[in-house]
């Protein structure tokens, strides 16, 4: 009974939080509209890929990673820092809702933002650029979820340690943009130089891009990539929860 | 029946005591005022009692629960209006009511509550666009949304115009008629005089004196609670 009430409450909070994110013109633009612009630009400028893979089949998974990364590494920490700084969190803590659950809801709302961005990319890819269905839908969904969970956990951790909204935004962007370029979310891996690839492969965005692309083209998912995403989720998520509880 | 029991509460910030061995009891169904100068420790006491701040020493029981270990169960039955709080800028008044109602097991009808506090006309207005007084009314109403047995109101009417203040007083008196216990932090001694059954005057983290407003006025030998306060805390001219 009480758990049902709580669940209903949390679902309501999550949907309200998503609405609030979408009402913020910056977040909505960068997570939803900007990736579509990038897709359009790529489709009109990109060089063909080695091996004859259609550009759109590489670009949509890549930009989906961009969307997940932006929602979780830039928008999520800024939201949490702002909630703390402006005492929005304090007011929420004066209710029977658990603070860890409230932050989980934030995380879920930002994943929903990434879902919105990803679905739009796929729809526009299919309608405008002849994107074919993923070769292995289960793998794509699994890769997407693990990617969102691992990057979301890092975002929660950033939100827990960064004291101000400004600081969180600056640091989120500083981490996000180099990662996007180095890890193959903007430039396909196969076109990157070996040195760039060796750095990029060490970053938390790399297993997400590679698993999503593999799932789309029907290659087997790498167990190492899946394991790395799970490990990031467990370690960063555990640390974040511990810090946010205090 | 005692609903709030605070015994020897101590709380320091960076070794400077804000609450320094404070004790008080609040009985069920009364409107209990806490008055005192800026920095006297009023907000600290209220937030310790509501489980929102840790404290260093002493015992606190609210509805028989320990706010340090039973915070969530306590907040199911206790409403809090914080002196300083905010909602997300883009959250609209109606959405705030609905969302906060969903966090409680047995909330009041949020539409009726919104209506009662005159906020229905503002239901589509975002938090950032509300004036200070409307924000304050919203927070007082949100403190009541879980149908609490005890409400802490930290600065009830500071930002309200005289008309809104009077109608807020009426609504607080109605709470008492329904058996709700109200703890009211106020600087505004006319308010304490008009509303409170008992008032504690605190200074430097301790209770200087407590009693009915009339008793405090008699004790100080003055003609209003305002001047009684100045006399009793030794801050008179
Ligand atoms: N978070 C904090 N960190 C450090 N010091 C604090 C903190 N909160 C309160 N204090 C200090 O503790 C003392 C009591 O503060 P408190 O807010 O409880 O007073 P108050 O009676 O509510 O004052 P006011 O009437 O101005 O609201 C003050 O000296 C204040 O500076
Ligand atoms: Mg105060």
Q: Give nearest CA residue, ligand 1 atom 31.
A: B39
Of B131, B147, B163, the one marking the end of a domain is B147
Which residue has better confidence, B226 or A181?
A181
Question: Within this chain, do residues B154 and B52 fall inside the same structural domain, yes or no?
Answer: yes
Of B103, B131, B147, the one marking the end of a domain is B147
Domain that holds residue B54: 2-77+150-233
Whichever domain contains B222, its CATH number is: 3.40.50.300
Residue A1 has pLDDT above 50, yes or no: no
Question: Within this chain, do residues B72 and B156 fall inside the same structural domain, yes or no?
Answer: yes
CA B190 to centroid of ligand 2, rounded, Å: 18
Domain count of the fold of chain B = 2
Residue B79 has pLDDT above 90, yes or no: yes
Residue B233 has pLDDT above 80, yes or no: no
pLDDT at position A211 = 96
Question: Within this chain, do residues B25 and B114 fall inside the same structural domain, yes or no?
Answer: no
* Domain positions in chain A: 2-243
Q: Give nearest CA residue, ligand 1 atom 28.
A: B39
d(CA A88, CA A74) in angstroms, rounded, equals 19
Interval B166-223: pLDDT, tens: 999 999 999 999 999 999 998 777 788 889 999 999 999 999 989 998 888 787 777 7
Share the mean pLDDT of chain B. 92
CA distances to B32, B162, B187 from B40, rounded to whole Å, are 17, 26, 11
pLDDT at position A6 = 66
pLDDT at position B237 = 52
pLDDT at position A150 = 96
Residue A3 has pLDDT above 70, yes or no: no
Question: Within this chain, do residues B114 and B128 fall inside the same structural domain, yes or no?
Answer: yes
Distance of CA B159 to the CA centre of its chain: 15
Burial category of B99 from C-beta neighbours within 10 Å (exposed 0-12, middle 13-18, buried 19 and up):
buried
Question: Within this chain, do residues B60 and B156 fall inside the same structural domain, yes or no?
Answer: yes
DSSP class of residue A190 equals G
Q: What percent of chain A has pLDDT over 70?
A: 97
pLDDT at position B88 = 96
Query: Span B103-126, mean pLDDT?
Result: 95
User: Cβ–Cβ of B88/A87 closer than 8 Å?
Assistant: no
The answer, for B99 touching chain A at a CB cutoff of 8 Å, is: yes
pLDDT at position B51 = 94
Confidence of residue B150 (pLDDT cuts 50, 70, 90): very high
Best B52, B86, B127, B143 residue to mutate vs chain A (most A CBs within 10 Å):
B86
Question: Within this chain, do residues B215 and B163 fall inside the same structural domain, yes or no?
Answer: yes
d(CA A109, CA B178) in angstroms, rounded, equals 38
Residue A182 has pLDDT above 80, yes or no: yes
Interval A30-82: pLDDT, tens: 888 999 999 999 888 877 787 778 889 999 999 999 999 999 999 999 999 99
Question: Within this chain, do residues B121 and B167 fall inside the same structural domain, yes or no?
Answer: no
Question: Within this chain, do residues B95 and B182 fall inside the same structural domain, yes or no?
Answer: no
From the CB of B205, is ligand 1 less than 6 Å away? Answer: no
Residue B229 has pLDDT above 60, yes or no: yes
Q: What interface predicted TM-score (ipTM) does this complex get?
A: 0.92
Residue A2 has pLDDT above 50, yes or no: no
The two three-digit tokens of residue B128, written as one number: 């950032």
Of B147, B168, B183, the one marking the end of a domain is B147
Question: Within this chain, do residues B71 and B176 fall inside the same structural domain, yes or no?
Answer: yes
For residue A78, give how far its alpha carbon lies from the nearest alpha carbon of chain B (Å): 13
From the CB of B105, is ligand 1 less than 6 Å away? Answer: no
Q: Which residues contact B160 (CB under 8 A, 6 or more apart)?
A: B133, B136, B137, B168
Q: What percent of chain B has pLDDT over 90?
A: 76
At B204, give phi and psi (nearest 5°): 45, 45
Interval B21-68: pLDDT, tens: 999 999 999 999 999 888 999 999 999 999 999 999 999 999 999 999
Q: What percent of chain A has pLDDT over 90?
A: 63
> pTM for this structure?
0.89
Four-CA torsion A158, A159, A161, A167, nearest 10 degrees: 90
Query: Span A146-162, mean pLDDT?
Result: 94
DSSP class of residue B65 equals B
């Amino acid at each position: 009974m009480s758990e049902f009430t709580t669940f209903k409450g949390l679902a309501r909070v999550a949907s309200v939080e998503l609405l609030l994110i979408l009402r913020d013109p910056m977040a909505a633009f960068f997570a939803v509209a900007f990736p579509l612009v990038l897709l359009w630009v790529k489709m009109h400028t990109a060089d063909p890929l080695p091996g004859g893979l259609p550009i759109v089949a590489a670009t949509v998974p890549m930009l989906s990673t961009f969307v997940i990364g932006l929602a979780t590494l830039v928008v999520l920490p800024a939201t949490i820092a702002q909630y703390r700084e402006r005492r929005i969190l304090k007011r929420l803590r004066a209710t029977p809702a658990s603070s860890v659950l409230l932050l989980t809801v934030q995380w879920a709302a930002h994943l929903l933002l990434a879902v919105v961005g990803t679905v739009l990319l796929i729809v526009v890819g299919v309608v405008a650029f002849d994107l074919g269905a993923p070769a292995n839908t289960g793998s794509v969904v699994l890769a997407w979820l693990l990617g969102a969970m691992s990057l979301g956990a890092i975002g929660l951790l950033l939100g827990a340690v960064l004291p101000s909204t400004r600081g969180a935004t600056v640091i989120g962007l500083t981490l996000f943009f180099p990662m996007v370029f180095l890890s193959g979310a903007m430039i396909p891996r196969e076109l990157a130089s070996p040195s760039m690839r060796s750095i990029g492969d060490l970053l938390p965005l790399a297993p997400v891009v590679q698993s999503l692309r593999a799932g789309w083209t029907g290659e087997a998912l790498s167990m190492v990539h899946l394991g790395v995403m799970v490990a990031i989720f467990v370690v960063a998520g555990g640390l974040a929860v511990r810090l946010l509880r205090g | 029946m005692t609903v709030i029991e605070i015994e020897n509460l101590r709380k320091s910030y960076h070794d400077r005591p804000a609450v320094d061995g404070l004790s008080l009891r609040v009985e069920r169904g009364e409107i209990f005022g806490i008055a005192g100068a800026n920095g006297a420790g009023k907000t600290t006491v209220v937030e310790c009692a509501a489980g929102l701040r840790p404290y260093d020493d002493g015992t606190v029981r609210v509805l028989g629960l320990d706010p340090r270990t039973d915070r969530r169960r306590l907040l199911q039955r206790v409403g809090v209006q914080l002196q300083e709080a905010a909602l997300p800028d883009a959250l609209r008044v109606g959405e705030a009511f609905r969302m906060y109602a969903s966090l409680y097991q047995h909330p009041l009808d949020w539409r009726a509550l919104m209506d009662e506090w005159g906020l229905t006309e503002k239901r589509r207005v975002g938090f950032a666009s509300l004036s200070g007084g409307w924000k304050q009314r919203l927070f007082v109403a949100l403190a009541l949304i879980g149908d609490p047995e005890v409400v802490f109101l930290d600065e009830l009417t500071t930002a309200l115009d005289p008309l809104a203040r009077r109608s807020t007083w009426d609504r607080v008196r109605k709470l008492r008629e329904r058996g709700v216990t109200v703890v009211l932090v106020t600087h505004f001694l006319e308010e304490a005089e008009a509303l409170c059954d008992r008032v504690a005057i605190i200074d430097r983290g301790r209770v200087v004196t407590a009693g009915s407003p009339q008793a405090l006025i008699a004790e100080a030998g003055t003609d209003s609670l305002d001047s009684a306060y100045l006399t009793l805390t030794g801050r008179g001219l």
